[in-house]
Amino acid sequence: MTATAEPETTGPSPGDTRAAPPARARFARLGLLVTVFVCAACGLVYELSLVTLGSYLIGDTAAQASITLSVMVCAMGLGALAAKPLRRYAAAAFAAVELALATIGGLSVLALYAAYAWLDLYTVSLVAASSVIGVLVGAEIPLLMELLQRIRRQEAGSAVADLFAADYVGALLGGLAFPFLLLPVFGQIRGSLIVGVVNAFAGLILVFVWFRADLSRLLRWLLGAAALLVSAVLVGSYLYADRFEATAQQALFAYPIVWREQSEYQQIVLTESLSPFGQTDTRLFLNGDLQFSSVDEYRYHEALVHPALAGPRRDVLVIGGGDGLALREILRYPDVAAVTLVELDPQMIRLARTDPRLTTLNEHAFADPRVQVITTDAFAWLRTVRVDFDAVIVDLPDPDQTSIAKLYSTEFYSMAAGVLAPGGTMVVQAGSPFFAQRSFWCITSTVRSAGLHVLPYHVDVPSFGDWGFVLATHEAEPRLAVDPPAPLHSLDHSSLAAAAVFPPDRRDTGERASTLMHPVILDLQRNEWR
């Protein structure tokens, strides 16, 4: 049985654009499809904004994406059903939906950031925002379908194909505009606000230009007033976005913020205060995680660097360490001929080179001619490098994000071992055996699974608490020793002997290795981390 297309109808009816001449109908139809295109782009940007914000604030990208997308898609189905009774008022309903979507979607990032900073209700707020945005996005298609049929009657399958073609192609625009334009140029808060304004104007232009006759005078005034109010809210929020963000960020930190920047890869924050001992305490945070305190960072960096340089050290590789503090310790050795530092974020390197707080701490390490900086992804770089290093120092942020988990995998450590010269030593910062015991021993097991002999050790860093490292070599069992050109502040032979001893309740828990396809370390961090 074949379907028969409904004939095109042009008979007039009050307030119906089917009465328009064919040329006007063609323009109206084109305008509607362009609106679908723009609204689809805006809807996808709202989704990506919520996923990205969650990955920045919470760190678990997979879970944030799953919650946001699954809740939003389910809500879209409910929104499509809820829009069915509104089809006879399609023009007014569509304008109202777009104004609501512009307001809620545009303000969603700002509202969720506030919920995270002051209310500790982030997940509940995320589900609520995803649900409301999903319902509104889902209501668009049935209303647009009704408006499309009012312009020119056509077979249902053909109309659906036209709408969804514009919808999916528009989603491509949103998906590309978010990471390559909105996020780097405007940031998350302002990017969402701009999209909200575009969303509102796209819907209103369609209704007021092509379906004006469907609206009573009162409705036109009400929608116009609502549009002015929404525009005022979004523009006002845009103008005060920096002040809001600074206030919200400060609420998350115990000390005054003296520098903050959202780079392409992470949020970088410097705070400064006076320690109880009267010293200036400068602290670096990446995505909210403390990286060092200037009061005691020497304890961490001496324990990280010097045991790895007790043997051969002519050529040294540093993976991470963009603040330059590990670099400072390496450059104390006059027989170190070359240091290669691989850091993903060029903004972190720029800050470490130029900020007087950091250059004082790292002693202008990046100005040393022995240092070569490579700004790239360390995982990809290790796949191509063919150089042997006498020492490899892995100083990376904690593995609490999906993007970092690959740098704590068997595959990564195998590639790092591949550039480690015979007789060389590798060291990995491995988190806290006290606060994250299973994570620490998982990292130890993962380094061992790369074919290396390992020696875990730990030291006290007051800002962090008990902190652990893993020393690794190719041939023989590693041994803890130091051979610095001058005495160290926190390490000597007796303290090193104690560093390799773990109390009974903090010894190896027998964790299995973490791999690319099964990142065990992420699950452990999620369950244990402070």
Q: What one-letter code names the amino acid at 430?
A: A
Residue 139 C-beta-side C-alpha neighbours within 13 Å = 27
Question: Is it the case that residue 358 has pLDDT exceeding 50?
Answer: yes
Mean pLDDT of 85-92: 94
Q: Secondary structure of the chain: what % helix, strand, coil (to 5)?
A: 60, 15, 25
Is a pLDDT exceeding 60 seen at residue 529?
A: no
Predicted local confidence at residue 288, as pLDDT: 85
pLDDT at 5 over 50: no
pTM of the entire predicted model: 0.81
Q: Inform me whether the pLDDT recorded for 1 exceeds 70.
A: no
Q: What is the mean pLDDT of the chain?
A: 90
**Residue 10 pLDDT > 50:** no
Tokens of 345: 């974020």
Return the number of other C-beta atoms located less than 10 Å from residue 259's C-beta.
Answer: 15
Mean pLDDT over residues 462-486, rounded?
93
Residues annotated catalytic, as ranges: 395
pLDDT over 70, % of the chain: 94
pLDDT at 15: 43
Q: What is the pLDDT of residues 287-326, one digit of tens each?
A: 888 999 999 999 999 999 999 999 999 999 999 999 999 9
Is 249 part of any known ligand binding site?
Answer: no
In the chain, ranges of CATH 1.20.1250 domains: 23-252
- pLDDT reported for residue 526: 63
More confident position, 419 or 155: 419
Q: How confident is the model at residue 42 (pLDDT cuts 50, 70, 90)?
A: very high
pLDDT tens-digit map of 148-196: 999 988 888 888 999 999 999 999 999 999 999 998 889 899 999 999 9
Q: How confident is the model at residue 130 (pLDDT cuts 50, 70, 90)?
A: very high
267 is in an annotated binding site: no
Residue 17 pLDDT > 80 = no
* Number of alpha helices (DSSP H) and beta strands (DSSP E) in the chain: 18, 11
Answer yes or no: CATH 1.20.1250 is held by domain 23-252.
yes
364 marked ligand binding residue = no
140 among annotated binding-site residues? no
Name which CATH class applies to 297-529: alpha beta
- When pLDDT is averaged across residues 101-108 and rounded to a whole number, the result is 97
Residues of the chain above pLDDT 90, percent: 74
Q: Is 295 exposed, middle or buried (0-12, 13-18, 19+ CB in 10 A)?
A: middle
What is Dmax (Cα atoms) for the chain? Answer: 96
528 annotated as a binding-site residue: no
pLDDT tens figures, 217-260: 999 999 999 999 999 999 999 999 999 988 988 888 888 999 99
Q: Which ranges in 394-492 belong to alpha helices (H)?
A: 402-405, 410-418, 437-449
Contacts of 443 (CB under 8 A, 6+ apart): 408, 428, 430, 431, 470, 514, 521
> What value does the mean pLDDT take over residues 363-369?
97
Q: Which of 113-122, 130-139, 376-385 has the lowest mean pLDDT?
A: 113-122
377 is in an annotated binding site: yes
Give whole-number Cα distances, 276 to 101, 257, 273, 279, in Å: 50, 18, 10, 7
| Ranges in the chain annotated CATH 3.40.50.150 | 297-529
